[in-house]
Structures are given as structure tokens and as C-alpha cells.
């Protein structure tokens, strides 16, 4: 039982793919664990639940989200999906619809949503890459949610911060991912 006057712990749900699941790293090296540590250090009373699954697509996430929302009842959802749709060349309108449905589901349960954007490399063709990149700001505007423009900003093109696969940040890149998210998350946090 919480002491009288003590703030009640809220849940922050990170719902993403391998970029948030610390793929190829120890869990404690990932940006999500670093987020939990920062919240504690700065006096925010949040429990971070990482429901990220490596390889997850927006369709898979859409199928899983209701259960995660019901189980954890988060105050905030960080939604970081789409990279696997893009890497598989799946249709952007389907990804957009899935992400929109997930945002609506979280908002219907009174959770605040932070949408995390991903970009595709230009070798997927300029039309696809541009359409994919535009999807996130369009969704953020449509659903009135804040947006991290590009999770891998300052990381993706730096070999020192990426694993050998060229797709996943290494341990040295994780603090930058946290910084990319933190600035947009901060206005959503409550003391």
C-alpha cells in the first residue's frame, strides 16, 4: 500500500519491434531500460513495461495491442512500429491503417500516445521511402499525438553506433535513441 501523499505509480508501455526490444543486446543496454532508469533518477513515478517484439509488423502489433492495454492499463503508450513493414515492402496504406487503429485503441483507454517514426533507406525507391516517411507525421496530425520524427536520427548512418547487420543500433547507439524519444516524451509525463 502506498504511503499517504506518495504519488501513485503509472505505467508507461513501450510497444515496438526489435529497435525497442534491445535486439542483439542485453536488455539492460537497451534504450527502454535506460528510460526506466532516467525516469527514476528524475523523480517520475512510472513503471516501464516493454512489450516490444523483434520482427513485429504493424498487423501483428494491432492484433496484440488490446491485450497489452487491458493487462497493463498504461497512462502512456510509446508506439514504435512500422520498420518491419517497410523492410518487407508491405503496402504503406495498410501500415498506416494499422498504426491509426492502435493509436485509437490506446486513446479510447485514456492513454496518451507518443508515436515514433521510422524511415526507410532510399534503396527501396524514392516513392516508397517518401510515402513511408510521410505516414508518421500524417498520423500524428490526424490523431493529435506527439511524434518522434525518426527514432534512429543521428544513429542510422554512423557505423560506430550500429550493429554489423546495419539495421539495429549497438549498445553505444542506445543513449542516442533515448535522447531522440525523451524530448518528445517529457511533455506527456506527470510528476
**Could you give the residue numbers annotated as active site?**
18, 165, 168
Nearest to 31 by CA among 64, 80, 65: 80
Neighbouring CB atoms inside 10 A of 124's CB total 16
Nearest to 19 by CA among 128, 177, 134: 177
Nearest to 52 by CA among 21, 6, 79, 89: 21
Cα 25 from Cα 161, distance rounded (Å): 13
Neighbouring CB atoms inside 10 A of 31's CB total 26
C-alpha cell at 132: 513511408
Taking CA atoms, 95 is separated from 31, 148, 187, in Å, by: 24, 17, 27
Amino acid at each position: 500500500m502506498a504511503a499517504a501523499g506518495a504519488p501513485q505509480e503509472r505505467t508507461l508501455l513501450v510497444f515496438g519491434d526489435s529497435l525497442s526490444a534491445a535486439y542483439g543486446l542485453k536488455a539492460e543496454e537497451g534504450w527502454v531500460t535506460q528510460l526506466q532508469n532516467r525516469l527514476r533518477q528524475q523523480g517520475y513515478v512510472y513503471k516501464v513495461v516493454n512489450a516490444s517484439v523483434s520482427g513485429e509488423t504493424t498487423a501483428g502489433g494491432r492484433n496484440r495491442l488490446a491485450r497489452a492495454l487491458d493487462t497493463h492499463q498504461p497512462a502512456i503508450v510509446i508506439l514504435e512500429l512500422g520498420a518491419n513493414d517497410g523492410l518487407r515492402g508491405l503496402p504503406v496504406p495498410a501500415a498506416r491503417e494499422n498504426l491509426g487503429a492502435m493509436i485509437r485503441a490506446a486513446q479510447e483507454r485514456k492513454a496518451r500516445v507518443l508515436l515514433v517514426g521510422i524511415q526507410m533507406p532510399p534503396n527501396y525507391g524514392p516513392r516508397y521511402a517518401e510515402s513511408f516517411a510521410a505516414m508518421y507525421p500524417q498520423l500524428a496530425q490526424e490523431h493529435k499525438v506527439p511524434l518522434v520524427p525518426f527514432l534512429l536520427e543521428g544513429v542510422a548512418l554512423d557505423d560506430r553506433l550500429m550493429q554489423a547487420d546495419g539495421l539495429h543500433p549497438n549498445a553505444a547507439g542506445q543513449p542516442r535513441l533515448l535522447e531522440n524519444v525523451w524530448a518528445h516524451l517529457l511533455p506527456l509525463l506527470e510528476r
